Amino acid sequence: MSPLPSSLPDAEAQCRQLADLIRPHLHKNPALVGIYSGGAWIAERLKELLDLPEDIGLIDVSFYRDDFAEKGLHPQVKPTVIPFDVEDRHLILVDDVLYTGRTTRAAINELFDYGRPASIELAVLADRDGRELPVAPTYCVWDVALNEGDSLVLAKQDDGQLAWRLENA
């Protein structure tokens, strides 16, 4: 893990790097599934950059989280939309930051409610330290170490561009 640089990287450039990592490994008939909200934005970018014809899937893991009983319902729950058949598909699950692995686990659980994919690969822009589950990204462009209590947040700016910000606890 590299320490956090004094300035945060260009998230749009990272999306292009992520597409370049994925492109040589695309299976026949792949499908992208973005985890709300940052992962959904990145999946939209990847669809364009990889010139994929099919709409992306969008997934909200709120009801599938193992801490749902503790935290309750997030105020901005969005509907999960999977506009394709999951059965025997090669899926690329997309998120902005991989941290504990719990969001990824919840997303995989939800995907299996739609069918049994042939494979699921994980693509993230940032992988930070702090894993609680044995989850690792297949594709990642930034390994970063953050201080306890800090959060890396991907935001969509008014002009539609993606940008990172660091939030301190």
pLDDT digits (tens, 9 = 90+) for 7-22: 899 999 999 999 999 9
**DSSP category for residue 81:** B
Tell me what the pLDDT averaged over the chain comes to: 91
CATH of domain 2-167: 3.40.50.2020
Q: Is the pTM of this model over 0.75?
A: yes
Confidence class for position 75, pLDDT limits 50, 70, 90: low
Burial category of 55 from C-beta neighbours within 10 Å (exposed 0-12, middle 13-18, buried 19 and up): middle
pLDDT digits (tens, 9 = 90+) for 7-65: 899 999 999 999 999 999 998 889 999 999 999 999 999 999 999 999 999 999 987 75
Q: Are 126 and 98 in contact (CB under 8 A)?
A: yes
Look up tokens 């939030």; give the residue.
167
pLDDT at 152: 95
Strands 30-35 and 57-59 come out as: parallel
> pLDDT above 90 covers what percent of the chain?
78
pLDDT digits (tens, 9 = 90+) for 127-160: 998 999 999 999 999 999 998 889 999 999 999 9
Angle in degrees, 0-180, between the axes of helices 11-22 and 38-49, rounded to the nearest 10 = 60
Confidence class for position 68, pLDDT limits 50, 70, 90: very low
Q: Are 131 and 101 in contact (CB under 8 A)?
A: yes
- Asked whether the CA dihedral 113, 78, 35, 68 is positive or negative, the reply is negative
**CA–CA separation, 55 vs 83, rounded Å?**
7
| Cα-Cα end-to-end distance for the chain | 21
Confidence class for position 77, pLDDT limits 50, 70, 90: confident
Boundaries of every domain in the chain: 2-167
3-state SS assignment for residue 46: helix
